Structures are given as structure tokens and as C-alpha cells.
């Protein structure tokens, strides 16, 4: 209780005016973050977010689609622990459904893959490759199989140096009703395979609202 006031006292009008003014100012401030179009809060300025994905989290397949084959992990010890994956055959695949880690309504900008090609490959089709696909299932009668759409595909350069290959996806708005699939393919040496090492994946999005995560 403020000095000089007792329980049951009526506050002076200027005090009420002050408190009402403060509440009104706070309401106006908060409302500035609210997007009335979709009943969501929005940042005053969009935010760039990055997250890393370990290749060890991806599912390994051979070129023939055999689960769990054609890849091995980098050597692991108490002192050396990495999530790198090393290919053991031509055109082997690492596959990951990344839908659950993408904030809905955000802009998917780029996906970067840190790769160490096992050999210099002159032909683009024989190099390490990354692709990103989008599928939108139709769950309403009449049902339809989800059509896959390629958002981007890229390959490593012709050399064998450690490098980043980038999928430039923007301006793809992450849709709540769609699924997103990332695939990485080892190079094709047409015979004795030269192992490719996938070290890390970095995903960059532009986020406009804090409520988009897990929406």
C-alpha cells in the first residue's frame, strides 16, 4: 500500500489516468508484433536462423535402394567423435526428412553441405550431389499420391578439395501441408570407388514469427 493510503481508500483520478495510460501504451506496443492476417505474433524485423544437421542423422542407402549399406562412419574414439559419413560405393544415398525441423511459414533460404570428394571428377553427373524435394500430400477425397517437386539440385566442383556445395532454395515458404526431403549422393567413379566424406549440413531460414517453430 502506498504511503498515506489505507485499505478501502479511493485512488485519485490522476493515478487512474496514469495506470490506464501505461496499460494502453503496453497494449499498443504488443499489438505492433501481432499479424492480424493469421493471428500470429511477428518480429519487427525478420531473423536469420541457422541449424546444423549431422550426416550421421541421415538414413543410408545404396544406389539400388538397399537400406543401411554403402556408407560408414568416420573412425570414432574417446578423443575423436564426429558425425561424418564416408561412402563405400558409387552413387550411394544419404536421405533425411527435414520437415519437422523447419519452422512453418519461414523462408527456406539455403542448405549447405560440407563435403570432401574422394576424387576429382570431370563429368558433373559423376560428382557428389545434393538435392532437396518437396511433396504435398492430398488427404482429401479424391485422394492423390503426393507429387514430388525438385526445389534445387547441385554438385561439387571438378576438384577433390574440401568444399561446400549449396542448395539455393529461396524463396521457398515452408508450407504446413508439405514435406521436405534432403538427399546427398556420393560420386560415381564407374568402377573402384573413391570414398566421399560428408562432414556437416547447415540449413538457413528467414523467420518472421516466434510461433513458427513446431507450428
Give the domain extent around 148: 44-212
Query: Is the domain of 30 the same as that of 116?
Result: no
Higher pLDDT, 29 or 143: 143
Query: Is the domain of 21 the same as that of 75?
Result: no
- Most confident stretch, 26-35, 128-137, 206-215: 128-137
Query: Is the domain of 75 the same as that of 21?
Result: no
> Has residue 210 got a pLDDT over 90?
no
Share the mean pLDDT of the chain.
85
With respect to residue 2, please indicate whether it lies within any of the assigned structural domains.
no
Confidence of residue 37 (pLDDT cuts 50, 70, 90): low
Query: Is the domain of 96 the same as that of 173?
Result: yes
**109 with 215: CB under 8 angstroms?**
no
Higher pLDDT, 79 or 215: 79
Tell the residue number behind the cell numbers 556437416, with chain if given.
200
The grid cell for 119 is: 576424387
> Has residue 72 got a pLDDT over 90?
yes
pTM over 0.75: yes
Q: How many CB atoms lie within 10 A of CB 207?
A: 19
Sign of the dihedral defined by the CA atoms of residues 124, 84, 52, 104, in that order:
positive
Please report the pLDDT score of residue 214 as a whole number. 43
Amino acid at each position: 500500500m502506498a504511503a498515506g493510503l489505507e485499505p478501502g481508500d479511493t485512488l485519485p483520478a490522476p493515478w487512474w489516468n496514469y495506470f490506464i495510460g501505461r496499460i494502453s501504451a503496453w497494449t499498443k506496443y504488443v499489438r505492433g508484433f501481432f499479424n492480424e492476417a493469421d493471428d500470429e505474433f511477428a518480429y519487427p524485423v525478420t531473423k536469420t536462423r541457422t541449424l546444423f544437421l549431422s550426416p550421421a542423422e541421415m538414413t543410408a542407402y545404396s544406389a539400388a535402394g538397399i537400406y543401411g549399406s554403402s556408407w560408414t562412419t568416420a573412425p570414432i574414439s574417446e578423443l575423436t567423435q564426429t558425425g561424418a559419413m564416408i561412402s563405400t560405393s558409387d552413387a550411394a544415398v544419404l536421405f533425411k526428412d527435414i520437415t519437422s525441423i523447419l519452422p512453418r511459414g519461414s523462408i527456406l533460404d539455403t542448405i549447405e553441405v560440407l563435403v570432401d570428394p574422394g576424387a576429382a571428377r570431370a563429368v558433373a553427373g559423376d560428382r557428389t550431389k545434393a538435392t532437396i524435394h518437396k511433396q504435398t500430400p492430398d488427404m482429401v477425397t479424391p485422394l492423390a499420391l503426393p507429387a514430388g517437386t525438385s526445389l534445387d539440385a547441385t554438385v561439387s566442383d571438378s576438384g577433390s578439395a574440401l568444399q561446400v556445395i549449396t542448395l539455393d532454395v529461396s524463396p521457398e515458404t515452408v508450407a504446413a501441408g508439405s514435406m521436405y526431403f534432403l538427399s546427398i549422393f556420393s560420386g560415381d567413379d564407374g568402377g573402384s570407388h573413391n570414398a566421399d566424406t560428408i562432414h556437416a549440413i547447415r540449413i538457413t531460414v528467414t523467420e518472421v514469427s516466434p510461433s513458427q517453430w513446431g507450428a
